[in-house]
């Protein structure tokens, strides 16, 4: 039995040691250079203040121009190339991108209300110049996707115009051909480092082409095999180590050849951490849907209607400006059945403004306000997973283990607002909801299985444990040590694999 395990470990290592070396090296790169994305802060900072005197067409005009029989589930007013643009989202629309079934976006002229059917190369250049004023531009091409735009979040925005900016960072902008917005930016540093970072870490060479449909399975089964390899390596290492006494060489390891001995010793020292890293990476793919509990999503606001927004958008912008709030985007929100405008400024600050009739609010005179009352938010939250009841409600003014912030470049990074209201329910899935009083929205929902994933993936793979990530550079040193140890084990395995596979000279004939 042991011999079969030795052989299985050997041949799995020959096949997989190069993959493992790539994962450990690229993991260090991803600590500091993430996959390109346009953050909310970058996007808002590049937008001008919305002008209530030059905007807007009525909501009913926008709904009519969209030409859809159903009402939208989302509506946002932004600026594209210096002009107001309304973006309506329809949940049951089929995207024209790769991810069929995703919400479809319909772009409209914010001032006149007419439909904007696609953005030309000239429009893409205009959007890029408005995004980075005073920087020379050159149009590259139109692509469905490229190595830096594989995110599913972009599926409803494809195809994408690529525009090269002549700035110091050599920024490349991606402009949606559907909405005309700048939806991604990628500097030369991000583009270059991603070839040895996210690109190989996520096995993106298998994205696109004949293997695209198999990409998820390739990642899952490769990581699963690597997990078995690491586990078998630990078993073999322990079996071969002489804990009491030594071999004739004076070593606790039976191997005399330096590379074999180093592989043995390094595997014992770093094997457990390497195993946890590979196994947690496997869990990031939610293999075989192990973290899907079937828990229903919170019943947030559904479709928007003109009746819920009696206050015109232009008037809302004028009131916001009069209160000293410079709105750069406006969102239409339905909270507890009533319409509200959510305004965002260039620093990510928010204001709310009642937009329709309520028994307790006169929207004609109500001023903008910063957040919903926590008691009202709790009452609203109690209806979101009906008929299940709230068993605990807490106002969080500090992050907890499941709602926390990471650096913007990380996979789950970005700022998270505080305070939030955390509600725990008595449903069979042990669901928790986090509600943001600044927006009235559910910003996170986790059930028992997702909380398990937070520890099995989030902790073991990224070590995003508050006492550690709040005390950098200790987190950096710990993460680099883990990856360096795993890399050394893998590199020694590569050397041994090469020695096993390389052609050997035939013995001389006598």
Q: Greater confidence, 119 or 97?
A: 119
- Peptide bond before residue 56 is cis, with ω within 30 degrees of 0: yes
Q: What is the pLDDT of residue 356?
A: 84
Assess whether pLDDT exceeds 70 at residue 97.
no
Please tell me what DSSP assigns to residue 397. Answer: S
Distance (Å, whole) CA 508 – CA 478: 52
Per residue in 158-177, pLDDT (tens digit) is 999 999 999 999 999 999 99
Assess whether pLDDT exceeds 70 at residue 102.
no
Q: Both tokens of residue 328? A: 């750069």
Assess whether pLDDT exceeds 70 at residue 239.
yes
Per-residue pLDDT band at 357 (split at 50, 70, 90): low
Per residue in 391-427, pLDDT (tens digit) is 999 999 999 999 999 988 887 777 899 999 999 999 9
Q: What is the pLDDT of residue 510?
A: 54
Instruction: Break the chain into its structural domains and give their ranges.
Output: 1-34+197-293+447-510, 37-189+304-370, 371-446
Assess whether pLDDT exceeds 70 at residue 505.
no
CA dist 317 → 16, 352, 362, 412 (Å): 58, 11, 17, 32
Which residues are CB-contacts of 27 (< 8 A; sequence separation ≥ 6)? Answer: 201, 277, 479, 483
For the sheet containing 390-396, what is the strand order?
A: 390-396, 420-425, 432-436, 441-446
For 457-476, the three-class secondary structure string (H helix, E strand, C coil) is HHHHHHCCCHHHHCCCCHHH
Residue 311 near residue 353 (C-beta atoms within 8 A): yes
Per residue in 135-147, pLDDT (tens digit) is 999 999 999 999 9
Q: What is the pLDDT of residue 92?
A: 61
Which residues are CB-contacts of 371 (< 8 A; sequence separation ≥ 6)? Answer: 352, 437, 438
For the ranges 120-134, 177-191, 243-257, 420-434, the lowest mean pLDDT is seen at 243-257
Assess whether pLDDT exceeds 50 at residue 122.
yes
Per-residue pLDDT band at 358 (split at 50, 70, 90): low
Which residues are CB-contacts of 248 (< 8 A; sequence separation ≥ 6)? Answer: none
Assess whether pLDDT exceeds 80 at residue 383.
yes
Which residues are CB-contacts of 436 (< 8 A; sequence separation ≥ 6)? Answer: 417, 420, 443
Distance (Å, whole) CA 331 – CA 352: 10
118 membership: H or E segment, kind and range: none
Per residue in 469-502, pLDDT (tens digit) is 989 999 999 999 999 999 999 999 999 999 888 8
């Amino acid at each position: 039995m042991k011999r079969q395990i030795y052989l299985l470990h050997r041949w799995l290592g020959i096949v997989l040691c190069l993959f493992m070396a790539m994962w450990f090296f690229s993991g260090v790169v991803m600590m500091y250079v993430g996959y390109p994305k346009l953050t909310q802060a970058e996007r808002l900072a590049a937008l001008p203040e919305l002008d209530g005197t030059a905007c807007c067409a009525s909501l009913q005009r926008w709904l009519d121009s969209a030409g859809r029989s159903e009402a939208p589930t989302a509506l946002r007013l932004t600026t594209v190339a210096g002009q107001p643009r309304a973006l309506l989202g329809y949940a049951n629309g089929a995207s024209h991108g790769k991810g069929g079934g995703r919400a479809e976006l319909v772009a409209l002229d914010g001032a006149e209300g007419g439909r904007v059917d696609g953005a030309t190369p000239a429009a893409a250049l205009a959007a890029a110049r408005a995004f980075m004023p005073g920087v020379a531009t050159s149009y590259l091409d139109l692509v469905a996707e490229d190595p830096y735009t594989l995110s599913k979040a972009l599926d409803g925005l494809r195809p994408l115009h690529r525009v090269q900016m002549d700035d110091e960072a050599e920024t490349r902008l991606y402009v949606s051909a559907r909405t005309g917005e700048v939806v991604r930016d990628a500097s030369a540093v991000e583009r270059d480092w991603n070839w040895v970072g996210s690109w190989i870490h996520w096995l993106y060479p298998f994205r696109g082409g004949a293997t695209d449909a198999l990409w998820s399975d390739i990642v899952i089964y490769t990581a699963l095999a690597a997990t078995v390899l690491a586990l078998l390596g630990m078993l073999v290492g322990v079996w071969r180590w002489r804990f009491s006494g030594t071999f004739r060489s004076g070593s606790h390891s039976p191997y005399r050849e330096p590379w074999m001995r180093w592989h043995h010793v390094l595997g014992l020292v770093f094997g457990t951490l390497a195993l946890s890293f590979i196994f947690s990476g496997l869990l990031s793919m939610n293999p075989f849907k192990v973290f899907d509990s079937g828990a229903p999503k919170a019943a947030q606001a559904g479709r928007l209607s003109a009746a819920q927004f009696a206050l015109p958008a232009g008037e809302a912008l004028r009131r916001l400006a009069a209160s000293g709030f410079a709105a750069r985007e406006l969102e239409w929100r339905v909270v507890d059945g009533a319409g509200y405008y959510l305004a965002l400024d260039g620093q990510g600050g928010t204001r709310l403004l009642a937009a329709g009739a309520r028994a307790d609010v006169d929207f004609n005179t109500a001023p903008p306000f910063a957040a919903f009352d926590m008691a009202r938010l709790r009452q609203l939250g109690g209806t979101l997973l009906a008929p299940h009841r709230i068993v605990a409600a807490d106002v969080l003014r500090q992050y907890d283990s499941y709602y926390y912030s990471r650096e913007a470049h990380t996979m789950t990074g970005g700022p998270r607002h505080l305070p939030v209201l955390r509600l725990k329910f008595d449903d069979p899935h042990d669901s928790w909801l986090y509600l943001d009083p600044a927006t009235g929205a559910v910003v996170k929902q986790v059930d028992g299985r997702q909380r398990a994933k937070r520890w099995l993936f989030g902790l073991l793979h990224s070590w995003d444990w508050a006492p550690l990530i709040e005390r950098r550079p200790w987190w950096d040193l710990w993460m680099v040590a883990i990856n360096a140890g795993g890399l050394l084990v893998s590199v020694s395995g590569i050397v041994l694999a090469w020695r096993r596979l390389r052609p050997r000279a035939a013995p001389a004939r006598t």
